[in-house]
């Protein structure tokens, strides 16, 4: 499976829904991944996951990510997902959160490589799609199993390996991480394994760090996660930098708020729940769009209290009115204006990802 570009959107619970995936594809993400899906939940309908399954035509190539710990559920769950016509299915052996590893899923599978191999094999045999895996380096620094886990996965039929260069013990994400990602794990895996593409993940937060990971590890592609939240145009920035060596200018506040407004408007449009419920669930995402802005403290605090879309529009308008130096744009115009302007950044380089 060859794609345009070398930068992929990582799966993130509560973040990578169909709206965000489409937005990131529009800004140049080469492949986008769904939120985590439970194999048990899909098979026995014990979890409300239907809202995570809708795919849009303009988000391909797109992957579903599946997690679980019981081998016998993966065949049926994978077949259910294949019916929605994704481009690939990814298996999660990296999630560190307690409620997942507590049921022996996610990173916990790295403590039983026989189980890991059986899960991969069962999924590969179930569907005519590429099956890939995303994993951490091991349970902790004393149990680094990424080389053996990769071997087991490939022998079972995995078509690509994404390695988040941390262990489960290193924590969940962002400020909770115990330390920086150890890119040498990715480099070691790439040097060890030439049968399938190796995708690097961990601490890619800018065009410069994307270039550095590719150069230092030799990986085939990179995956961006939290750095895309509130900044979906990071894919455009990275693509442009990888192609030209030049940085795109920072988008002005009015353009950023236009993207944020588009994001929540689409979320309200496609979600069956009432708009106030959707808005409350999106407070942190809306606040992420303005993170680090000078003079935005009050706006951020207000965003964390909003109850409806009209409040968001009013807050954005008031903020821009007090910052007359901000470049104006018309509605969602930046989404179309920014992209044609930067057609030069659309990736000319292709990457094998499965």
- Residues annotated as catalytic are 95
Residues 153/134, Cβ–Cβ less than 8 Å: no
Distances (CA, A) of 191 to 39, 55, 258, 331, 353: 32, 35, 44, 48, 17
DSSP bridge pairs for 9: 224
- Specify the 3-state DSSP secondary structure of 136: strand
Q: Compute the residue count for the chain.
A: 354
- The runs of H, that is alpha helices, within the chain are 18-26, 39-44, 71-82, 98-101, 113-126, 146-155, 183-192, 207-217, 234-244, 253-270, 275-281, 283-289, 297-303, 309-321, 333-341
CA dist 275 and 266 (Å) reads: 11
CA angle, 120 then 152 then 222, to 5°: 80
CB 3 within 8 A of CB 346: no
How many angstroms separate the CA atoms of 250 and 99, rounded?
38
């Amino acid at each position: 499976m060859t794609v345009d570009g070398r930068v992929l959107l990582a799966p993130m619970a509560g973040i990578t829904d169909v709206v965000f995936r489409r937005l990131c594809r529009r800004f140049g993400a080469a492949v986008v991944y769904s939120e985590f899906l439970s194999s048990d939940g899909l098979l026995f309908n014990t979890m409300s996951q239907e809202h995570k399954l809708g795919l849009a035509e303009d988000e391909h190539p797109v992957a579903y990510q599946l997690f679980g710990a019981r081998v016998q559920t993966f065949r049926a769950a994978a077949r259910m997902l294949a019916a929605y016509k994704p481009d690939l299915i990814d298996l999660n052996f990296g999630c560190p959160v307690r409620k997942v590893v507590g049921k022996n899923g996610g990173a916990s599978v790295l403590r039983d490589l026989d189980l890991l191999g059986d899960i991969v094999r069962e999924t590969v045999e179930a569907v005519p799609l590429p099956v890939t895996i995303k994993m951490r380096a091991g349970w902790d620094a004393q149990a680094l199993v990424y080389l053996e886990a990769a071997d087991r996965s490939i022998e079972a039929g995995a078509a690509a390996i994404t390695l988040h260069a941390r262990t489960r013990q290193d924590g969940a994400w962002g400020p909770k991480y115990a330390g920086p990602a150890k890119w040498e794990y990715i480099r070691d895996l790439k040097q060890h394994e030439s049968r399938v593409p190796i995708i690097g993940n961990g601490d890619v937060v800018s065009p410069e760090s994307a270039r550095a990971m590719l150069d230092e590890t030799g990986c085939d592609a990179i995956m961006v996660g939290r750095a895309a939240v509130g900044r979906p145009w990071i894919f455009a920035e990275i693509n442009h930098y990888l192609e030209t060596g030049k940085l795109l200018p920072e988008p002005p506040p009015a353009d950023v708020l236009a993207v944020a407004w588009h994001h929540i408007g689409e979320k309200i449009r496609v979600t069956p729940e009432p708009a106030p419920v959707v808005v409350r669930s999106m407070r942190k995402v809306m606040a992420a769009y303005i993170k680090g802005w000078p003079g935005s403290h009050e706006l951020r605090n207000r965003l964390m209290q909003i109850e409806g879309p009209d409040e968001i529009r009013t807050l954005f308008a008031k903020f821009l009115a007090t910052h007359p130096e901000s470049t104006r744009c018309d509605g969602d115009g930046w989404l179309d204006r920014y992209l044609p302007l930067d057609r030069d950044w659309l990736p000319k380089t292709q990457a094998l990802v499965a």
